[in-house]
Structure 1
Amino acid sequence: MKNLRYYLLLMAFLPGLAFSQNLAEKLGYPSDAKVLIIHGDDVGVSHSQTKATFDAMKIGIVNSTSMMVPTGWSAEVGEMAKEMPGADIGIHITLTNEWLNFNWGPEAGRTAVPGLANEKGHMYSNCAEVSANASPQEVEMEIRAQIKTANQMGIVPTHLDSHMGCVFYGRPEYLKSYLTIAQELKIPAMINQQIVDNIINPNSALFEGINVDHFPVIDQLFMAEPEDYESGMEEYYTNSINNLSSGLNLILIHLAFDNEEMNAVTQGHDTYHAPWRQADYNFFTSEKARELLKKNNVKLVTWREVGKTMQF
């Protein structure tokens, strides 16, 4: 009884003590655990992309993905998701269209968000053009339209992230809308410490009302660059897994098959093309990748699991 009184007294004076666990502990792991999300971007951009990603989630170690809603094959994501109830699927907020002959316009419609459409009615090819033309109001309208359409396809997103990083590298108001909407939906929005330090903290007045501390922050993010592809994807990903730190790690990959369709989609690009995406698929469906996780005692988690640790 004496110990119980002492405990209750301690809790009265230290109300934050119960919330002192780090993310790994909240997920049920030791405080120094290496926690990892292996995330396949861009489902919905093509049949090849979507099929490869869902296959890698079924037979490989990929455990998360996010869909590009305005693209031509996005409806297939809803159909494939029926085969994997509970799959970790977010919305890959899409504000750009970087391909030469495979094009799409804004989900909200070019008349509703004219700043997100070029003279052909397609989205711009890069984030700089988006920032120069799209108002924060248009971007927020487009984010909401993409989520609404995904819902109509049967997708209830587990998280939000950003295609080509335009939400992060555009106007700070874009990031505000991104976080505001995630907070409304009570789901994670992918951010790392660099975003917090370089965008959110210097613009604290803009982000007033958003409980940034409630969002999980990625401790370490890995995504292959062109020089990594040239050196060999297996080497890059092997080194990445061997060098994971304790905390929340994220490996961003782009899976597809090196087939006629994907080569046509990525025509004119010498990065993130069909062979690159096939290399991602090959590694993350390999036994070597699975053994590396075991060797390094890595704990795979999903955005869905991470979201359950958030307090709104």
Structure 2
Amino acid sequence: MGLGNGDQKLLIINADDFGMCCSTNQAIETLFEEKAITSSSLMMTCPWMTQAANLANTHRFDVGVHLTFTSEWKDYKWGPISSFAHPVPFVDEFGNFPEDVSPIGLAIVDDIKQECIAQIECALLMGVDVTHLDIHMLSLQIGSAEPFMSTVIELCANYGLPLRMPRQPSAPIPHNEKLIRLADTKGVKLPDHVVVLPFQLPSKAQRYSFVIEYVSECLRNLKPGITEIVFHPSVESNELRAITDTWEIRHFEYMVFREPLIQSIIREQNIQLIGWKELRSLQRGD
């Protein structure tokens, strides 16, 4: 059994970074309530993950685990859930994840697997009905990461969870046919396409108009099959400004899927909105 037919355009609208901060949680809760998104990804290592997990549990939101191995902001940090008996390259002297992904490539598979399991199990323990797995900052998907992704695929199979690893080339996510075949062998469901909204904005006055036009074109050019659009919404706040210089685009992304124009394009293009729950049900044979 599949989803839709060969010509149907199926779309998952996924808000990443649930749990990163209060401003992000407020945005994602509102977007779920307004049905402007169909899914989200929870960062179990972040300071506001408890509130996010409680919201997901209470409202039965479609929420996956955003496997996290980086802590990218200068003044706002987090680290692993696991305790390691030996030094690991993805934990610094203060117990935090690194700012960029490069140290992660020096890790051994067993340590990566331990931390992935800890993040998944923590979400389950907090009552989150985990719908899928995806990876923050592509930290387990870039460079010589094939062994790490093989482990993630194994975990997806064990937990009965689909994975954000598109079948078709979808920048910036690396394309790896060997890993796609492994996922197929293990019965792990994958989307056909993934679109990640860019953090870069043009240096011109109508910056929000650029975001609206970008999303509009993505929707008008959506291909048949299952597509996931990934973005990072937050409400504008002093908290968000203090955390990241990407605060403006995050606020724009909070607003854009609430726009009547975007909603009308989804209807006009006969796009069927789905969540990761549908892929999980397909994978589990529910």
TM-score after normalising by structure 1: 0.82
**Aligned pair partner of 1:70 in 31, 42, 45:** 45
Identity level (%): 22
Q: Does 1:254 align with 2:232?
A: yes
Change (3 A) 1:250 1:211: closer
Greater than 6 Å deviation, 4+ residue runs: none
Q: Cα offset for 1:202?
A: 7.8
Query: Which has the larger Rg?
Result: 1
For 1:89, the equivalent position in structure 2 comes to 63
RMSD: 2.3
Give, as a single letter, the amino acid of the residue that structure 2 aligns with 1:259: S
Q: Does 1:215 align with 2:188?
A: yes
Change (3 A) 1:106 1:33: same
Residue by residue over 1:31-89, the C-alpha shift from the partner in whole angstroms, topping out at 9 and shown as x without a partner, is 2000000000000110110110111111142110010011111101122124412x110
Residue by residue over 1:74-112, the C-alpha shift from the partner in whole angstroms, topping out at 9 and shown as x without a partner, is 101122124412x11000000111011000111103546
For 1:298, the equivalent position in structure 2 comes to 271
Give, as a single letter, the amino acid of the residue that structure 2 aligns with 1:285: R
For 1:99, the equivalent position in structure 2 comes to 73
TM-score after normalising by structure 2: 0.89
Q: Does 1:116 align with 2:90?
A: yes
2:199/2:249 contact within 8 Å kept: no
Q: Cα offset for 1:119?
A: 2.1
For 2:147, the equivalent position in structure 1 comes to 173
2:162/2:190 contact within 8 Å kept: no
Change (3 A) 1:156 1:60: closer
Q: Cα offset for 1:212?
A: 3.9
Whole-angstrom CA distance in 2 between matches of 1:96 and 1:43: 15
**Aligned pair partner of 2:116 in 122, 143, 163:** 143
2:42/2:49 contact within 8 Å kept: yes
Give, as a single letter, the amino acid of the residue that structure 1 aligns with 2:42: M
For 1:32, the equivalent position in structure 2 comes to 7
Whole-angstrom CA distance in 1 between matches of 2:193 and 2:177: 18
Q: Does 1:310 align with 2:283?
A: yes
1:60/1:284 contact within 8 Å kept: no
Give, as a single letter, the amino acid of the residue that structure 1 aligns with 2:130: P
2:149/2:179 contact within 8 Å kept: no
Structure 1 unaligned spans of 5+: 1-18, 20-25
For 1:236, the equivalent position in structure 2 comes to 214
Q: Cα offset for 1:203?
A: 10
For 1:164, the equivalent position in structure 2 comes to 137
Give, as a single letter, the amino acid of the residue that structure 1 aligns with 2:62: D
Q: Cα offset for 1:238?
A: 0.7
Structure 2 unaligned spans of 5+: none
Tell me how many residue pairs correspond in the alignment: 276
